[in-house]
């Protein structure tokens, strides 16, 4: 049974209404906290690796010896909240929360948010495969069924459109940094430099190169501290798929039919009217709507 909180549903086993309520209303945010925020399947684990490496000066020892859930606890679970409260500053914290239920204390703090977004067509493909191998998530049945649920917002963590538009309204605030999965794929070195500057942690060239090397998809696939192979089968059944599956842009082209692509583009056009012209992937959607 899904966990319900403020009109949204969350996966059981990871979250509870009590932990979500605590995260929103009682979690004490520190001024030097760093929040890694995403909608699911948008580069969450990748960003944990990047930020962990930056905070450790490019040294991969932390990444290679401490599970990512301990380095960057999930503040929507009871275990994650307990871990977060016991961490020394500066804390790296993770969640998929939409802005309307994000910790209230953040908005009167100097804490920083890194928000990673991704082409929603790749998000839905990744989310579909993830749901098939993650027992606490609902069975996606077919890709077509899951695509419709995704576009209707009837998935865990709610509507992608609402999540993105809620956070993007914060664009321009000095303590919130927006970056896309596509930018990371195109120029990871440049993105790491920008992230270092945002976090006030200027690293030399050798350290930045180490961040880039150890946050590569290949390095992450081999790293048991982030590839989920240590999780029990009840939480992640890797016989049904691979957690770090492809790590590419444009995989949606191998999944969408022409009809599904046209349907998606129409819904996107309708839902994203107020937030156009800021995403790399939009060009292909806008071009398809001309015909």
Q: Where does residue 138 fall: left (phi above 0), alpha (psi -120 to 50 degrees), or beta otherwise?
A: beta
Yes or no: say if 261 and 287 are a contact pair by the CB < 8 Å rule: no
CA distance 25 to 102: 9
CA distance 29 to 34: 10
Q: Which two tokens stand for residue 13?
A: 């086993």
Question: Which H or E element spans position 182?
Answer: helix 181-186
Gyration radius of the chain's alpha carbons:
18
SS3 271: helix
Interior angle at CA 92, CA 45 and CA 122, nearest 5 = 25
| Of 96, 129, 163, 197, catalytic | 96
Question: 15: which DSSP letter?
Answer: B
Parallel/antiparallel/unpaired status of strands 92-95 and 34-38: parallel
Question: Which H or E element spans position 180?
Answer: strand 176-180
Yes or no: say if 20 and 10 are a contact pair by the CB < 8 Å rule: yes
Q: Is 163 a catalytic residue?
A: no
Within 8 A by CB and 6+ apart from 90, the residues are 30, 32, 33, 34, 55
CA distance 121 to 176: 24
Residues with catalytic annotation?
96
């Amino acid at each position: 049974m899904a966990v319900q909180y403020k009109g949204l549903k969350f996966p059981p086993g990871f979250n509870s209404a009590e932990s979500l309520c605590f995260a929103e209303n009682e979690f004490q945010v520190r001024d030097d906290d760093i929040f890694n925020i995403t909608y699911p399947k948008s580069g969450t684990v990748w960003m944990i690796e990047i930020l962990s490496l930056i905070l450790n000066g490019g040294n991969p020892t932390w990444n290679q010896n401490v599970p990512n859930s301990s380095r960057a606890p999930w503040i929507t679970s009871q275990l994650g909240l307990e871990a977060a409260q016991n961490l020394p500053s500066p804390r790296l914290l993770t969640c998929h929360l939409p802005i309307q239920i994000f910790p209230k204390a953040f908005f009167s703090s100097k804490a920083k948010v890194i928000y990673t977004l991704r082409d929603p067509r790749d998000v839905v493909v990744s989310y579909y495969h993830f749901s098939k191998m993650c027992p606490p998530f609902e069975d996606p049945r077919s890709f077509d069924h899951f695509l419709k649920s995704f576009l209707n917002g009837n998935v865990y963590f709610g509507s992608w459109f609402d999540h993105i538009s809620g956070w993007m309204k914060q664009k321009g605030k000095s303590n919130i940094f927006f970056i896309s999965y596509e930018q990371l794929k195109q120029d990871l070195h440049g993105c790491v430099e920008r992230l270092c500057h945002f976090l006030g942690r200027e690293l030399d060239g050798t350290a930045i190169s180490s961040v880039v090397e150890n946050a590569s998809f290949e390095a992450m696939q081999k790293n048991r501290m982030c590839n989920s192979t240590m999780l029990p089968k009840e939480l992640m059944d890797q016989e049904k798929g691979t957690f770090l599956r492809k790590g590419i842009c444009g995989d949606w082209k191998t999944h969408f039919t022409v009809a599904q692509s046209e349907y998606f583009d129409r819904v996107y056009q309708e839902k994203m009217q107020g937030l156009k012209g800021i995403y790399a992937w939009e060009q292909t959607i806008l071009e398809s709507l001309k015909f």
